[in-house]
Amino acid sequence: GENVEQHPSTLSVQEGDSAVIKCTYSDSASNYFPWYKQELGKRPQLIIDIRSNVGEKKDQRIAVTLNKTAKHFSLHITETQPEDSAVYFCAAHYSGGGADGLTFGKGTHLIIQP
Partner 1 sequence: NAGVTQTPKFRVLKTGQSMTLLCAQDMNHEYMYWYRQDPGMGLRLIHYSVGEGTTAKGEVPDGYNVSRLKKQNFLLGLESAAPSQTSVYFCASRQGINYGYTFGSGTRLTVV
Compute the distance between CA of residue 9 and CA of residue 4 in angstroms, rounded to an integer: 13
Which 46-85 residues touch partner 1, going by CB under 8 A? 46, 49
Segment near partner 1 (CB under 8 A); pick from 55-63, 66-74, 76-84, 100-108: 100-108
For the bound state, the minimum distance from the C-beta of residue 43 to partner 1, rounded and expressed in Å, comes to 5
Segment near partner 1 (CB under 8 A); pick from 12-20, 67-75, 76-84, 96-104: 96-104
Compute the distance between CA of residue 68 and CA of residue 54 in angstroms, rounded to an integer: 9
Contacting residues toward partner 1, per CB under 8 A: 1, 4, 6, 32, 34, 42-44, 46, 49, 89, 91, 95, 98-107
